[in-house]
C-alpha cells in the first residue's frame, strides 16, 4: 500500500516540473490522485507565479476542494484570491461548503465581498449573504446550509430517493434530520436506520423524536460543549420558530475549540497568541495598551514602596526580600487565575460551585503559604542569623500568597458575573495587583518588628 503522507514529498519535484513546463495532462493525473490536504500543502509551497499557472490547470470546483483544506486563519488567503481571475475566484467560492466560503469572505473588505458575491449564481450568493449577516461567534456564523433532510410523512423508499439526490451537496449524511411541512425540526435518524427498514414504513414511525439542537444565536463555545457532552458528529441549528436552518459538524467545532483555547491563552498572557504579523511596529501597537495600563498599576507599587523609604533606610535588609515575596505571590495568583478561568470555561460548572472554588483556592493558598513561609523562615533565620527577620519574611509570604490566591480566583469569577470575559483578568494583571498587595502586607508586618533588625 502506498504511504499517502510521504507520497506528496516524493512527487513534489515531478509536479513542479510538469507545472512549470505546462504539461497539463501528466500534472492533473498526479495532482488529482493526491488527498485534498496534500494538494493544499503543495499549493502553499508554490510561488505566486507558479500558483497563477496552477489556476489554468484546475477547474474552480477542483480548486474549491483544495481550498477546503487551507486554514481559514491563513493571512495569505486574500492574496490568493487577488491572484485569480475574479470570475474564477467567485466560481471557486460558490463550489465550497458554505461555512468555509463564509470564513474566507469574512477576511475580506466588504467591497471585495460584494464583488465576488455579484459574480456568483443568485442561489449560492443568497446563502452566503444570509450566513455573513449572523453575529460573529454564534451558531449561525459557523453552520453550513448543505445538509440532508427528509419529511416525516415520507416512506423509507421516498426518503432514500431524496437523500441520494441531496447527498452529493450535503457536508455529511451521518445524521438525517426530519422536518414537517413547515420545515420545523421534529426528529432525527441515522442512515443505518433507513437501510435496515422496510421500504413501506413511514419516517414518523421510526424517527427519534428527542433531537439535540442549538439555536441560531447560541454562542459557538456553548455549541462546542453540546457536541462534546452528547458525543455528536453534527448538531442541527434551528431558528426562533424551530425551523431547521443548518447544521454544525464536528470539524467546525474543532476549529472553535482551538479558537477559544487561543483566546484564553491570550487573556492569561495579555497578548494575542495568534498574532501573525511580522511587522514589529504593528505587533507592538497591539501589546502596548496592556503594557501601559500595567505600567501605571506598577507605579502604584513603586509609590507604596517610596512611602516606606524611611523604614528601608533604617533596616536596609528589608529591601533584599521585596522581589522574593512579590514574585512568589504573583506566581500563586496566576496559578489560581488559571484554575478559575478553566473552571468557568467548563459549562458543566454550576454557579453554586463558584463559592466552593473560592474557598478551595483560599485553603490552597493558606496551605501553600504556610509551607512556603515556614521554609523561608528557616532559610532566612539561618542565613541572616536573625529568626525574627525570618518570621517577618515567612509571615509576609504566608499572607501575600493567601491574598494572591484569593484574588486570582475571585476576580475572574466577579468579571464573569458582571458579564465580562474572565480571561481578561490576565496573568500580568493579577501579578501586578499581587505586587501591590504583597508590598503593603510585607511592610505592614515589618513595621511591628522594626526594632529587631
Q: Is residue 271 predicted with pLDDT exceeding 80?
A: no
User: Band of the pLDDT at 143, cuts 50, 70, 90?
Assistant: very high
User: Band of the pLDDT at 343, cuts 50, 70, 90?
Assistant: confident
Do 336 and 302 sit in the same domain of this protein? Answer: yes
Do 252 and 291 sit in the same domain of this protein? Answer: no
Do 324 and 433 sit in the same domain of this protein? Answer: yes
pLDDT at 91 (0 to 100): 95
Domain tally, the chain: 3
Do 362 and 252 sit in the same domain of this protein? Answer: no
Do 436 and 296 sit in the same domain of this protein? Answer: yes
Among 198, 224, 258, where does a domain finish? 258
Q: Could you tell me the CATH number of the domain that includes residue 386?
A: 1.10.357.20
User: Band of the pLDDT at 299, cuts 50, 70, 90?
Assistant: confident
Among 76, 102, 137, where does a domain finish? 137
Do 19 and 115 sit in the same domain of this protein? Answer: yes
In a domain, 62, yes or no: yes
pLDDT at 2 (0 to 100): 38
Mean pLDDT within 166-185: 91
pLDDT-wise least confident of 37-41, 316-320, 353-357: 353-357
Do 316 and 427 sit in the same domain of this protein? Answer: yes
User: Band of the pLDDT at 302, cuts 50, 70, 90?
Assistant: confident
Do 325 and 436 sit in the same domain of this protein? Answer: yes
Q: Is residue 3 predicted with pLDDT exceeding 50?
A: no
pLDDT at 23 (0 to 100): 92
Q: Could you tell me the CATH number of the domain that includes residue 163?
A: 3.10.580.10
Report the C-alpha gap between 215 and 237 in whole angstroms: 6
User: Band of the pLDDT at 426, cuts 50, 70, 90?
Assistant: low
Do 21 and 132 sit in the same domain of this protein? Answer: yes
Q: Is residue 277 predicted with pLDDT exceeding 70?
A: no
Do 323 and 240 sit in the same domain of this protein? Answer: no
Domain range for 122 is 7-137
Strand 175-179 vs strand 185-190: parallel, antiparallel, or unpaired? Answer: antiparallel
Mean pLDDT within 224-241: 91
Q: Is residue 345 predicted with pLDDT exceeding 90?
A: no
Do 338 and 446 sit in the same domain of this protein? Answer: yes
pLDDT at 4 (0 to 100): 41
In a domain, 271, yes or no: no
In a domain, 423, yes or no: yes
In a domain, 68, yes or no: yes
Among 137, 161, 178, where does a domain finish? 137
In a domain, 228, yes or no: yes
C-alpha cell at 256: 472553535
pLDDT-wise least confident of 237-251, 341-355, 408-422: 341-355
Q: Could you tell me the CATH number of the domain that includes residue 111?
A: 1.25.60.10
Q: Is residue 133 predicted with pLDDT exceeding 60?
A: yes
In a domain, 109, yes or no: yes
Do 341 and 391 sit in the same domain of this protein? Answer: yes
In a domain, 381, yes or no: yes
User: Band of the pLDDT at 1, cuts 50, 70, 90?
Assistant: very low
Give me the percent of the chain exceeding a pLDDT of 70.
Answer: 85
User: Band of the pLDDT at 413, cuts 50, 70, 90?
Assistant: confident
In a domain, 101, yes or no: yes
Amino acid at each position: 500500500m502506498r504511504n499517502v503522507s510521504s507520497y506528496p514529498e516524493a512527487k513534489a519535484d515531478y509536479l513542479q516540473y510538469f507545472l512549470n513546463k505546462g504539461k497539463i495532462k501528466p500534472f492533473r493525473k498526479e495532482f488529482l490522485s493526491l488527498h485534498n490536504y496534500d494538494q493544499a500543502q503543495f499549493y502553499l509551497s508554490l510561488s505566486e507565479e507558479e500558483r497563477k499557472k496552477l489556476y489554468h490547470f484546475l477547474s474552480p470546483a477542483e480548486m474549491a476542494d483544495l481550498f477546503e483544506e487551507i486554514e481559514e486563519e491563513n493571512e495569505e488567503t486574500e492574496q490568493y484570491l487577488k491572484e485569480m481571475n475574479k470570475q474564477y475566484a467567485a466560481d471557486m467560492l460558490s463550489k465550497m461548503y458554505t461555512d468555509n466560503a463564509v470564513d474566507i469572505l469574512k477576511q475580506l473588505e466588504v467591497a471585495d465581498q460584494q464583488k465576488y458575491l455579484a459574480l456568483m449564481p443568485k442561489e449560492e450568493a443568497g446563502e452566503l449573504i444570509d450566513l455573513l449577516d449572523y453575529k460573529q461567534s454564534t451558531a449561525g456564523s459557523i453552520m453550513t446550509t448543505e445538509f440532508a433532510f427528509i419529511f416525516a410523512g415520507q416512506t423509507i423508499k421516498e426518503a432514500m430517493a431524496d437523500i441520494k439526490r441531496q447527498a452529493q451537496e450535503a457536508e455529511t449524511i451521518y445524521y438525517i434530520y426530519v422536518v414537517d411541512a413547515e420545515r420545523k425540526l421534529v426528529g432525527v435518524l441515522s442512515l443505518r436506520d433507513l437501510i435496515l427498514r422496510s421500504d413501506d414504513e413511514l419516517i414518523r414511525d421510526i424517527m427519534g423524536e428527542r433531537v439535540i439542537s442549538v439555536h441560531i444565536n447560541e454562542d459557538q463555545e456553548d455549541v462546542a460543549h453540546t457536541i462534546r457532552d452528547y458525543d455528536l458528529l453534527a448538531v442541527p441549528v434551528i431558528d426562533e420558530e424551530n425551523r431547521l436552518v443548518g447544521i454544525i459538524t464536528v470539524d467546525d467545532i474543532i476549529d472553535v475549540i482551538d479558537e477559544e483555547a487561543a483566546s484564553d491563552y491570550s487573556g492569561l498572557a495579555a497578548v494575542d497568541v495568534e498574532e501573525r504579523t511580522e511587522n514589529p511596529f504593528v505587533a507592538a501597537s497591539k501589546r502596548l495598551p496592556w503594557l501601559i495600563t500595567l505600567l501605571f498599576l506598577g507605579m502604584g507599587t513603586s509609590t507604596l514602596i517610596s512611602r516606606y523609604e524611611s523604614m528601608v533606610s533604617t533596616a536596609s535588609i528589608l529591601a533584599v526580600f521585596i522581589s522574593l515575596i512579590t514574585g512568589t505571590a504573583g506566581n500563586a495568583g496566576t496559578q489560581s487565575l488559571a484554575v478559575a478561568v478553566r473552571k468557568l470555561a467548563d459549562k458543566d460548572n454550576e454557579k453554586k460551585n463558584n463559592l466552593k472554588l473560592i474557598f478551595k483556592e483560599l485553603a490552597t493558598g493558606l496551605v501553600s503559604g504556610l509551607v512556603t513561609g515556614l521554609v523561608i523562615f528557616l532559610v532566612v533565620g539561618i542565613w541572616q542569623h536573625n529568626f525574627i527577620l525570618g518570621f517577618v519574611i515567612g509571615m509576609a509570604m504566608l499572607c501575600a500568597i493567601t491574598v494572591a490566591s484569593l484574588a486570582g480566583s475571585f476576580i475572574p469569577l466577579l468579571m464573569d458575573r458582571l458579564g465580562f470575559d474572565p480571561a481578561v483578568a490576565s496573568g500580568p494583571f493579577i501579578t501586578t495587583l499581587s505586587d501591590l498587595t504583597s508590598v503593603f502586607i510585607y511592610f505592614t508586618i515589618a513595621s511591628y518588628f522594626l526594632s529587631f533588625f
